C-alpha cells in the first residue's frame, strides 16, 4: 500500500511535496511540439489523478471528476479503493491525442503506464480514452468518462477488490478467489521460479506476477479476447517480446476454472511453463516460432520431473502408435487456443520433444544457444535455418527427419 504523506510546514512545504509527487507520477507532454493551453490543462488533470493513485487519496482521485457526474465519482472512489493493497511503484498518464468538441469539451487518447514496485522493471502500458469538460468558473478540466480504448484489455482492479499475496519469488493478485487458493498459487509459483532459474542460464528478474481473476470470462476481459478461447487453458503469459535487454512487465494470468481441475503436478508444470516464458522474454522475438518458445517452456517445466515421454505426450504417443507420424514441426496456427484441442495438444507435445531432441543430441548449452540465435535473427525468414546451420551444424530437412525418428523412438 502507498503510504500517506503527512505534510508539515504550511503551504510552501505542501506545494513542494505535491510537485515531487506529481513528478513521481510521471508528467508527460508531446515531444514534437509545445503544448497549448487545452493540452496543458488536460495534462494537469491527468497528473492530479496519477498523484492521487500513488498517494492513495480517493478524495483527490474523485475530485478530478466532473462534480455533476455523481455515478462516475462513486465508481472512481470504488476503483481506487480496490488498488489499496497493490504495491504500485509508478502510475502515469501520457497524452497522445486530443479531439476537441467545441471550446469546453475534449476527448483525450492516453496511455496509462503503471509499474508494480519490486517486480516490474518497465511499466505495463494500457490505452485509455478519457472525456473531459472545462468548468468556466475555475478554468479546470474535469473527467466526464474514462474507458478502455477499442481493442485494449481490461484491468484486474476493474473486476473487484484486489487481494494481494506476497510469496518469496512471486506476487499473486486475485479477485473473487479465496485466500487459501491464492496462497496455494503463490506457493506453487515460488517453486516454479527456482526451477526455471535452473533451466535457463541467463540472469532474469527471478520473480513473477500472477493474476487470478474470478472466472474464465474475466480472464478473457484481461486478455481482450473471447472467454471461449481460454476454457481449456490453465494459464497464459502476457508481455512484449524483444531483444532490447530491458525486461518488460510480464503477467501470468490463471484461468481459475481450468487450473483448479489440475493436480499438484499439473499446476506445478503449468506455472513453471509460464514462468519460463517470463525468463526467456528478452531472448524471444518475432523471429521465434511458436514451437520453439512453447517447446522450450515445456522442456523447462518437465526437465526435472519423473515422467516418461508417453506420460508427458499422450496424444502424440497415440498418433505415433497408430502410424500417424507428423510430417513436420508444428506451425504457429497449430497453437490456436480456439482450434482443435487434439491438434493443440499434439503441437505442444511435439514441440517439447523437439527441444528434448536438441538437449539430448547436442546438449543443453546448444539448446540455449539455438534459442538465443533464433530470437536474435532480424526476422522470421531464415531464422530457424540459420540457427540450425550455425549452432547445430544441420539443416531443416535433416533436423525434421531426426525429430520424426526421435518421436518413434520415444513414443512408439
Q: What is the pLDDT of residue 241?
A: 55
Q: What is the pLDDT of residue 240?
A: 59
CB atoms within 10 A of CB 147: 10
SS3 111: strand
138 Cβ neighbours under 8 A, 6+ residues apart:
none
CA-to-CA distance for 294 and 348, rounded, in angstroms?
7
Q: What is the CATH number of domain 153-283?
A: 3.30.2010.30
Q: What is the CATH number of domain 10-152?
A: 3.10.450.50
This prediction's pTM = 0.86
Domain ranges of the chain: 10-152, 153-283, 285-412
Q: Within the chain, how many helices (H) and strands (E) appear? A: 15, 9
CA-to-CA distance for 88 and 61, rounded, in angstroms?
15
pLDDT tens, 235-270?
999 875 554 444 457 899 999 999 999 999 999 999
CB atoms within 10 A of CB 150: 8
Q: What is the pLDDT of residue 121?
A: 84
Q: How far is CA 15 from CA 21, 203, 262, 264, 380, in A?
A: 10, 42, 54, 54, 53
CA-to-CA distance for 193 and 208, rounded, in angstroms?
7
| Contact assessment for residue 301 and residue 266, using Cβ atoms and an 8 Å cutoff | no
Burial class (CB in 10 A: 0-12, 13-18, 19+), 68: exposed
Q: What is the pLDDT of residue 19?
A: 36
Nearest 10 degrees: Cα torsion 168, 172, 178, 180: -20
Q: Which residues pair with 98 in a beta bridge?
A: 108
What parts of the chain have a pLDDT lower than 50? 1-35, 243-247
| Contact assessment for residue 332 and residue 389, using Cβ atoms and an 8 Å cutoff | no
pLDDT tens, 152-209?
888 999 999 999 999 999 999 999 999 999 999 999 999 999 999 999 999 999 999 9
Q: What is the pLDDT of residue 32?
A: 35
Amino acid at each position: 500500500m502507498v503510504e500517506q504523506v503527512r505534510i508539515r510546514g504550511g503551504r510552501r512545504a505542501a506545494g513542494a511535496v505535491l510537485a515531487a509527487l506529481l513528478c513521481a507520477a510521471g508528467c508527460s507532454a508531446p515531444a514534437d511540439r509545445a503544448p497549448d493551453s487545452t493540452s496543458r490543462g488536460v495534462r494537469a488533470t491527468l497528473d492530479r489523478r496519477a498523484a492521487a493513485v500513488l498517494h492513495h487519496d480517493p478524495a483527490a482521485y474523485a475530485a478530478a471528476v466532473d462534480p455533476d457526474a455523481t455515478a462516475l465519482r462513486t465508481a472512481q472512489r470504488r476503483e481506487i479503493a480496490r488498488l489499496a493493497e497493490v504495491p504500485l511503484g509508478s502510475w502515469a498518464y501520457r497524452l497522445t491525442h486530443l479531439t476537441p468538441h467545441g471550446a469546453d469539451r475534449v476527448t483525450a487518447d492516453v496511455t496509462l503506464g503503471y509499474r508494480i514496485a519490486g517486480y516490474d522493471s518497465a511499466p505495463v502500458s494500457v490505452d485509455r480514452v478519457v472525456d473531459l469538460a472545462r468548468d468556466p468558473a475555475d478554468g479546470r478540466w474535469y473527467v466526464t468518462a474514462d474507458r478502455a480504448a477499442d481493442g485494449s484489455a481490461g484491468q484486474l482492479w476493474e473486476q473487484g477488490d484486489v487481494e494481494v499475496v506476497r510469496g518469496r519469488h512471486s506476487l499473486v493478485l486475485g479477485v473473487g478467489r479465496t485466500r487459501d487458493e491464492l496462497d496455494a498459487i503463490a506457493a506453487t509459483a515460488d517453486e516454479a521460479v527456482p526451477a526455471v532459474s535452473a533451466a535457463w542460464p541467463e540472469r532474469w528478474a527471478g520473480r513473477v506476477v500472477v493474476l487470478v481473476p474470478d472466472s474464465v470470462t474475466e480472464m478473457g476481459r484481461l486478455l481482450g479476447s473471447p472467454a471461449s478461447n481460454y476454457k481449456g487453458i490453465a494459464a497464459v503469459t502476457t508481455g512484449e517480446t524483444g531483444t532490447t535487454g530491458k525486461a518488460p512487465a510480464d503477467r501470468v494470468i490463471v484461468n481459475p476454472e481450468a487450473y483448479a481441475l489440475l493436480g499438484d503436478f499439473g499446476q506445478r508444470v503449468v506455472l513453471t511453463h509460464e514462468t519460463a516464458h517470463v525468463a526467456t522474454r528478452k531472448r524471444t522475438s518475432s523471429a521465434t516460432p511458436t514451437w520453439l518458445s512453447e517447446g522450450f517452456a515445456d522442456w523447462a517445466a518437465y526437465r526435472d520431473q519423473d515422467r516418461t515421454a508417453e506420460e508427458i505426450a499422450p496424444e502424440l504417443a497415440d498418433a505415433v502408435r497408430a502410424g500417424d507420424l507428423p510430417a513436420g514441426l508444428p506451425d504457429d496456427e497449430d497453437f490456436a487456443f480456439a482450434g482443435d484441442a487434439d491438434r493443440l495438444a499434439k503441437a505442444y507435445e511435439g514441440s517439447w520433444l523437439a527441444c528434448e531432441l536438441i538437449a539430448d543430441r547436442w546438449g543443453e548449452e546448444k539448446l540455449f544457444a539455438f534459442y538465443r540465435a533464433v530470437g536474435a535473427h532480424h526476422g522470421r525468414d531464415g531464422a530457424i535455418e540459420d540457427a540450425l546451420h550455425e549452432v547445430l551444424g544441420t539443416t531443416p530437412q535433416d533436423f525434421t527427419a531426426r525429430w520424426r525418428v526421435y518421436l518413434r523412438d520415444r513414443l512408439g
